[in-house]
Structure 1
Amino acid sequence: MRILNKLVFGGLVGLGLLPLGLLTVWALGEGWHFPHLWPKRWSSTAFLQIFSGKMGESLWLSTWISTCVAVFATAFGYITGHFVSHHPLKKWLLRLAYLPF
């Protein structure tokens, strides 16, 4: 039974990573047309083009802003959840959270 669980888990992880591998092949391959199994050439010119000039600068700025927003939203959500879980009117606050929906 444990072996079956490990096989199922490994299969699900592999199935989840398959799209990332396909995206990597698409990003690094050039001249990949229908009947071919693999691209004719492998190149990183697409990545070099993205990371050069203003496009790379805006990509890093966007990544930095989204990381900051994620960190602050996680911290604020943790503080709010802690406040609600220890508040005497916890049930009322939880019902109030569903009001906009």
Structure 2
Amino acid sequence: MTAIQAGLTVLTVLVVPYIVQAIKTKAMGGNTARWLAIAVSALCGALTAMAGGIPTDASAWVTSIFACVGGVQVAYASFKSVGVTDKWLDALLALGDVKKEG
């Protein structure tokens, strides 16, 4: 895994939980959101594997994909357990709501 691939993996691990939580807040339940996170993580892992060119070795694909999927699941569980996703996401989602005074 190159430095660019490692950086993309870390970025994926930190960003995907927030995206999935935002979608979950508005449109889906927990189990569906979990499978969406796994699918998005796998896609990001595949794209990360191709960051340095298309790998010819199957282990490069597996390493990148499972690093992203596992990392996102660990990050989401960690963020959720301390309330980071709820607090930060609620604050970010509230930025678009303008309250009208009555």
Please report the TM-score for the alignment, with normalisation by the length of structure 2.
0.32
How does the TM-score come out when normalised to structure 1? 0.32
More helix, by proportion: 2
Which of structures 1 and 2 has the larger relative contact order (alpha carbons within 8 angstroms, sep 6+)?
2
Based on CA coordinates, which of the two structures has the bigger radius of gyration?
A: 1
